[in-house]
Amino acid sequence: MKAGDILVIGIDLDDTLVETTKEANKKMWENEKYKNIKDFHMLNKKEYNIFLKKHIKSIQENANLKENALKVLNWLKENNVNIVIITARGSKNFDFLIPITDIYLKNNKVPYDDIIYRQTVKGKTCKKYNVDLFIDDKEEVLDDINKYGIKVLKMNNNQENSKYITVNNWLEIKQYIQDNFNF
């Protein structure tokens, strides 16, 4: 970014800003049959699809924001940083999640400047919105963004290996931004 430009931070929703998997697992464990399954992503394809179809609305309405996320986003806005949410939500047959997400963000007082839905691949959109730094939990999403020369941070939910700088929580995101950008 050039001196005087506004800093643009891009963020993913599910498992970066919002505790989607935690909420989904909680929902799954309500069913005795799935008590021993560690993570809903481990359901077989058929069961996964049935589970999501049935519960995704309630999962996305009820999932908590990650700890300190709101505090850090408000701090960014106080410093005139642009916040762009880029999410896969709304893809395929999940259009109905768009209004649910709009309401969720409003109810939770999440500050943002733009939201772009249906983005399973995000590099091109990051470029279009002049994103300086993008935070996501998926390595393949970051790979595509990184191709455009954009800085990325990996939200590390499961201690998996990454070729990128990883953060474990929103306070670490704040620290990284303070260390790497002047505003």
Chain residues in the site for Mg ion (CB under 5 A):
12, 14-15, 137
Q: Find the shortest distance in angstroms from Cβ 69 to Mg ion.
A: 13
CB atoms within 10 A of CB 94: 18
Based on CB atoms, which residue is closest to Mg ion, 19 or 137?
137
CB of 78 to Mg ion, least distance (A): 26
**Cβ distance to Mg ion smaller for residue 15 or 23:** 15
Of 14 and 23, the one with the shorter C-beta distance to Mg ion is 14
For the chain, counts of helices (H) and of strands (E): 7, 6
58 neighbors 11 (Cβ within 8 angstroms): no
- Minimum Å gap between C-beta 136 and Mg ion is 6
Q: How far is the CB of 66 from Mg ion (least distance, A)?
A: 11
CB of 156 to Mg ion, least distance (A): 12
List Cβ<8 Å contacts ≥24 apart for 168-172: 169/66, 169/67, 169/68, 170/66, 170/67, 170/68, 170/69, 170/71, 170/72, 171/68, 171/72
User: Which residue is closest to Mg ion by CB?
Assistant: 14
Q: Alpha-carbon distance 118 to 34, whole Å?
A: 30
∠ CA 48-53-57, nearest 5°, is 120
Tokens of 125: 């959109």
List the structure tokens of 85.
């949410």
Nearer to Mg ion, 12 or 132 (CB): 12
Which one, 31 or 168, has the nearer CB to Mg ion?
168
